Amino acid sequence: MSALAQQLLLGLLIGGLYGLAAAGLSLVFGVLKVLNVAHGELIMLGGYGAFWLVALLDLDPFAALLLVLPLALALGLGLYWGLFGFVVRADEETRIKNSLLIGFGLALALHALAVRLWTADERSIVTPYGGAVISVDGLSIPVVRLLSLALAFALIGGVHLLLAHWRWGKAIRATAEDWQAALLTGIDVRRAYLLAFAIGTGLAGAAGTLVSIGYSISPSIGLEWTLKALIVVVLAGLGSMLGTFVGGLVLGVAEAASASVFGGPYREVVGLVLFVVVLVVRPRGLFGR
């Protein structure tokens, strides 16, 4: 029994990162109506960014997050100006197809770049307090992962508040709902796209940092994380940041439960089946508007 509880707890902890990974993708998909299949590669880059900062500057990994965030935001601005800004000029159907194409091209290039820069080895950030564990009722909670979950929640909550109260946050939400109407009321839709994409990339960078601290990264984790993020986006539906976070937790726990019941190798399969079922039965997602 306690073995199962322990598994579920670990699932919950990684679920927070699934939620954070999905939040950025959800924002970009919901607002720009483009499907960035290179989102996982952005997470991977964020992880290596943190890895580099820790290795070269000897920073604390959680302090590195403070540097990775602005860097990822800047990368998002660059990617939007260089690539995705061209995609959003087309109508919605074409947007999806072109963003898929550009995403695949980008994923290929970023993967190759990462192998070149950091080799194909698996890496993770090692900290002196990495092995610390809190014991509660026979359950052991790794401190680093607990902290990651809390930070993921804080970041998603922060973006939620931004979208709810900030002037441009409201503009982003209006654009997501109906960009033509938003344009008519005088909202600079292009600026809203740019901001949403930059924030989405920033969230990916943060997710990557937390993944490299509590888990491990390699240049080929991109597709895996894109899939996890897509699953959560579909599970949760568009339009709610906090819903996305809960969707991430649901996926993490579902995976852990299926890993204990059917065995480790089937961990992903059950998550994917769950995803397909939700997609078909309730295409708007559990919390979708």
Partner 1 sequence: MRRLGKRREPGWAAAILGALAALALLPLATRRDDVLNFVFLILLSITLAESWNIVAGYAGQVNLGHAAFFGLGALVARTLWIEGTPIVLAMGAGALVATAFALAIGVAAFRLHGAYFAIGTLALGEILRTTVSNVLSDISTLPTATIGAYRLSHRYYFALGLAAVSVVAVAALGASRIGLGMQAIREDEEAAEASGVGALRLKLTALALSTGLAGLAGGLFAYYHISYYPSHPFSPHWTFDALLMTFIGGVGTLHGPVLGAVLYVFLKEYLALHWVDFHLLIFGALFIAIVLLLPGGLVQAVERARRLLAR
Residue ranges in contact with partner 1 by CB under 8 A: 29, 35, 83, 86, 90, 92-94, 96-98, 100-102, 104-113, 116, 223, 227, 230-231, 234, 265-266, 268-269, 272-273, 275-276, 279-280, 283
CB 211 within 8 A of CB 222: no
Q: Closer CB to partner 1, residue 144 or residue 230?
A: 230
Q: Closer CB to partner 1, residue 147 or residue 223?
A: 223
Q: Closer CB to partner 1, residue 128 or residue 265?
A: 265
Name the minimum Å distance from CB 201 to partner 1.
Answer: 17
Q: What sign does the CA torsion over 75, 79, 82, 86 have?
A: negative
Name the minimum Å distance from CB 254 to partner 1.
Answer: 14
Q: What sign does the CA torsion over 30, 31, 37, 38 have?
A: negative
Q: Which helix (H) or strand (E) holds 141?
A: strand 139-142
Name the minimum Å distance from CB 160 to partner 1.
Answer: 24
User: How many helices (H) does the chain have, and how many strands (E)?
Assistant: 12, 2
Q: Closer CB to partner 1, residue 184 or residue 281?
A: 281
CB 238 within 8 A of CB 288: yes
Name the minimum Å distance from CB 103 to partner 1.
Answer: 10
Q: Closer CB to partner 1, residue 23 or residue 35?
A: 35
Name the minimum Å distance from CB 43 to partner 1.
Answer: 17
Rounded to 5 degrees, φ, ψ at 120 are: -85, 5
Residue 34: partners with Cβ closer than 8 Å, 6 or more residues away: 28, 84, 87, 88, 95, 96, 98, 99
Name the minimum Å distance from CB 175 to partner 1.
Answer: 17
Q: Closer CB to partner 1, residue 25 or residue 171?
A: 25
Tokens read off for 268: 């992903």
Tokens read off for 148: 């990651």
Question: CA-CA-CA-CA torsion for 44, 113, 56, 151, nearest 10 degrees?
Answer: -10
Helices 189-214 and 167-177, interaxial angle, to 10°?
100
Q: Closer CB to partner 1, residue 97 or residue 289?
A: 97
Cα angle 218, 219, 225; round to 5: 80
Name the minimum Å distance from CB 40 to partner 1.
Answer: 12
